Structure 1
Amino acid sequence: MNFEFDADSEEMRAMVVAFAQRELVGRKDAARTAFDPGDFRRRWRLAGAQGLVGGAVPLEYGGSGLDAVTSSVVMEALGYGTEDTGFAFSVAAHLFASLMPIVEFGTEEQKREWLPALCSGERIAAHGITEPEAGSDALNLRTRAERKGDEYVLQGSKCFTTNAPVADAFVVQAATEPNGGFFGLTAFIVEAGTPGLSVGPVYDKVGLRGSPTADVHFDGCVVPARQMLGAEGSGASVFSASMKWERVCLFAIYLGAMRRILESTIEYAGERAQFGSPIGGFQAVSHRIVDMTLRLESARLLLYKAAWGLARGSQDEIAPALAKLAVSEAAVQLGLDAVQVRGGLGMVEGEAETFLRDALPSRVFSGTSEIQKNNIARALGLGNSRRPRRRR
């Protein structure tokens, strides 16, 4: 067991932190004002030129060929380097929920057609699966795809679609066999601007405001059959594969952000004085900060263990779910602790309250904390019918 990264990974981490701190600074009022697509695109192109938006994609398609461990290192550095966690989230959602399904399930023609521009920062991708009536119950989608010759006609709507307002391409899940369960879904690559595809207004969210999110509507949207991703009926497999990447590598962003907030909280506790002493010397404060450290380090170990398995082709369902659960719950509690240590200052605009708002959605997207526990319990065999053990 080796808990240190190699020299190349450490160099990459330092480079990404420096780049993010220098170039990915969003507008100071971004958390309080309307989304600015122009500024978002500007930073996206910079991130693309740095190799961040396509890092896990193989070299031959314009990516950097990073495995899951190194991808997590890069995302952790991105989360640490930029205070705009929403922007970092958009980068990760683009890469792990949209590009990696094309890498793993796309034809050679699809990979060469779509991936280079999506890796360079020229184009942005969004993944549409969640619907008003199908959030956690992802197999019961109401969006339909009906085959007509060499085309499919899509009808329905998606909600909470990350990057939808700026997306140039959508990876969309639709039901080709209603009530078909696991084999009833099919994935498609749909280009923005396709007749019948429309995007709603940007959501006004409690957190991750730097990540544009909206509804997507399909009204007789015609998609060529050659843009089907994988075989018909394999949409659930496409989605499951993307979730492994997302539940591991995307959440490394929160590790970096937690590290940044923990360090600033320690600094604050050493500078803020009450009753003639720095508040960090008070046991109530110091123990809270120790608990913050414990949560971060524990979650980090679980995430990199899951990334290690993913990089080696592991089919383990428990490790990614544990990692997602641990990181999201740790992020919210660490945000609450950071606000508490700051007292009144934690109630006004600042990095602690901003991080807490950004952490809250982490318990919901990519499968709620409750769904992760269900997945883990199922993988452990809990609830399965078994013959009772005979007492001796």
Structure 2
Amino acid sequence: MDFSWTDQQQAVYDRVLAGARALGAHTAPVPDPVRGLWRGCAELGLTGLSVPEEWGGRGYDAVTTARAVEAAGRGCPDMGLLFSVLAHLFATAMPIVEHGDDTLRKELVPPLAAGARIGANAITEEAAGSDVTALRTTAERHGDHYALNGTKTFVSNAPIADLLLVYAVTDPAFGFLGVTCFAVDRDTPGVTIGAPFDKPALTTCPAATVTFTDAVVPTTRVVGRPGQGAAIFQSSMRWERSCLFAAYLGQMDRLIDETVQHASTRQQFGRPLAANQAVSHRIAEMKLRLETARLLLYRTCWLLDRDEHTPLDIALAKLHTAESAVQTALDATQLFAGSAHSTRTDIERALRDALPARTFSGTSDIQRELIAKGLGL
């Protein structure tokens, strides 16, 4: 493995970092689905990083994609915006790229890659969070179409989405092999999108409940083959659990920079905070967590590009990066003390936005289960 960056990868990092810093200066409470923040992300290429060039994307491999995402996370403190854009890319666009037929790709992928249309991934249900085999949303075939019925919850981007990637049961007798993935337009009759949830974290990524009542979806909108839904979902998770979490590497990098600056300049008892071993050692631990998470994550992306990855590799990277992001934000909060909770810093928001990393894309406990399984336990 080569630990150096190519000229292209470094140029991508520098370009995205500069653009992300400009995005991070915004004050809008929610992302604009057409203009402003989403347009800025699209101009940086974030909406199509890993999409092949023939379908309108940048055509980056997993390592280069993660490098760009890390730059975005370092430059832009609005993790909600980045999560919104990256969930659109990895959980909506990429499944269609990798599993849709050419007709579906040609119709749907270019506008998604350009950010002209916004995608949402609809799989989670109240009774089926980590257990995707417990889905109750059904899709019954009637000739050339399916009728979708059921309710999805915690659907990120749903309030602003143009396209929903929906996972529904088409053959209950086959368990997870009876789940099918559908590309469903927002304005399909029978699709009802609820009001955005109030939530304390990732606030600029709107989420809502989506209900399907005899929603008619043509058979041509099946992504992959009937019964392939679970495999398609797991395929999208390999992107999210690796490349998306590179944004938290960027967040940790930024928090360490801010904490070092604060500890070096803040005077207490006649000397800088950094002169206290308890402070300097805490920052050293922050740096150690970042670098170990970075090594695990980029190793996983390198394996993805070589098609040599395993669920164990991905789970290790996801788990360690998520837990490191939370602990690093906690440490920064401790070192900034009261000022961490003021509007003069982004420390408290970083902590709130780090906490969901333990839950989305598979909880930390699910990752531990995958690791144990990978070890033969």
Deviation at 1:22, TM superposition (A): 1.8
Q: 1:372 is matched by which residue type in structure 2?
A: Q
CA 1:179 to 1:361, structure 2 compared with 1: closer, same or farther past 3 Å? farther
Q: Deviations over 1:41-75 (max 9, x none)?
A: 42112221332101101111100111100000010
Question: d(CA) in 1 for partners of 2:321 and 2:95?
Answer: 23
Q: 1:359 is matched by which residue type in structure 2?
A: A
Partner of 1:390: none
Point out where structure 1 has 5 or more consecutive residues left out of the alignment.
Answer: 383-392
| 1:216-227 to 2 correspondences below 5 Å | 216-227=210-221
Asked if residue 138 in structure 1 is aligned to residue 102 in structure 2, the reply is: no
| 1:277-316 to 2 correspondences below 5 Å | 277-316=271-310
Cα RMSD (Å): 1.2
CA contact (8 A) 2:300 2:309 kept: no
Deviation at 1:315, TM superposition (A): 4.2
Partner of 1:255: 249
| 1:40-51 to 2 correspondences below 5 Å | 41-51=35-45
Question: d(CA) in 2 for partners of 1:223 and 1:169?
Answer: 12
Partner of 1:152: 146
Question: d(CA) in 1 for partners of 2:124 and 2:26?
Answer: 28
Partner of 1:100: 94
Partner of 2:182: 188
Asked if residue 215 in structure 1 is aligned to residue 209 in structure 2, the reply is: yes
Partner of 1:345: 339
Partner of 1:361: 356
CA contact (8 A) 2:32 2:38 kept: no
Q: 2:373 is matched by which residue type in structure 1?
A: R
Q: 1:7 is matched by which residue type in structure 2?
A: D
Deviation at 1:37, TM superposition (A): 3.7
User: When the two structures are superposed, what TM-score results if normalisation uses the length of structure 2?
Assistant: 0.97
CA contact (8 A) 1:63 1:116 kept: yes
Point out where structure 2 has 5 or more consecutive residues left out of the alignment.
Answer: none
| 1:1-392 to 2 correspondences below 5 Å | 1-27=1-27, 30=29, 35=30, 37=32, 41-349=35-343, 350-382=345-377
Query: What is the DSSP-based 3-state SS (H/G/I as helix, E as strand, rest coil) of the residue aligned with 2:225?
Result: coil
Q: 1:213 is matched by which residue type in structure 2?
A: A
CA contact (8 A) 1:140 1:179 kept: no
Question: d(CA) in 2 for partners of 1:206 and 1:314?
Answer: 38
Query: What is the DSSP-based 3-state SS (H/G/I as helix, E as strand, rest coil) of the residue aligned with 1:236?
Result: helix
Q: Deviations over 1:266-319 (max 9, x none)?
A: 000011100000001100100100010011111111000110011111241111
Deviation at 1:343, TM superposition (A): 1.2
Question: d(CA) in 1 for partners of 2:165 and 2:35?
Answer: 20
Q: 1:161 is matched by which residue type in structure 2?
A: V
Question: d(CA) in 1 for partners of 2:318 and 2:59?
Answer: 23
Q: Structure 1 stretch 128-137 or stretch 173-182: which is displaced more?
A: 173-182
Partner of 1:389: none
Question: d(CA) in 2 for partners of 1:289 and 1:302?
Answer: 20
CA 1:203 to 1:94, structure 2 compared with 1: closer, same or farther past 3 Å? same
CA 1:115 to 1:297, structure 2 compared with 1: closer, same or farther past 3 Å? same
CA contact (8 A) 1:101 1:241 kept: yes
Q: Structure 1 stretch 175-184 or stretch 357-366: which is displaced more?
A: 175-184
Deviation at 1:23, TM superposition (A): 3.7
CA contact (8 A) 1:61 1:111 kept: yes
Deviation at 1:36, TM superposition (A): 5.5
Query: What is the DSSP-based 3-state SS (H/G/I as helix, E as strand, rest coil) of the residue aligned with 1:180?
Result: helix
Query: What is the DSSP-based 3-state SS (H/G/I as helix, E as strand, rest coil) of the residue aligned with 1:130?
Result: coil
Query: What is the DSSP-based 3-state SS (H/G/I as helix, E as strand, rest coil) of the residue aligned with 1:174?
Result: strand
Number of aligned residues: 376
CA 1:171 to 1:293, structure 2 compared with 1: closer, same or farther past 3 Å? same
Question: d(CA) in 2 for partners of 1:132 and 1:191?
Answer: 23
Question: d(CA) in 2 for partners of 1:253 and 1:295?
Answer: 15
Query: What is the DSSP-based 3-state SS (H/G/I as helix, E as strand, rest coil) of the residue aligned with 1:293?
Result: helix
User: When the two structures are superposed, what TM-score results if normalisation uses the length of structure 1?
Assistant: 0.94
Query: What is the DSSP-based 3-state SS (H/G/I as helix, E as strand, rest coil) of the residue aligned with 1:16?
Result: helix
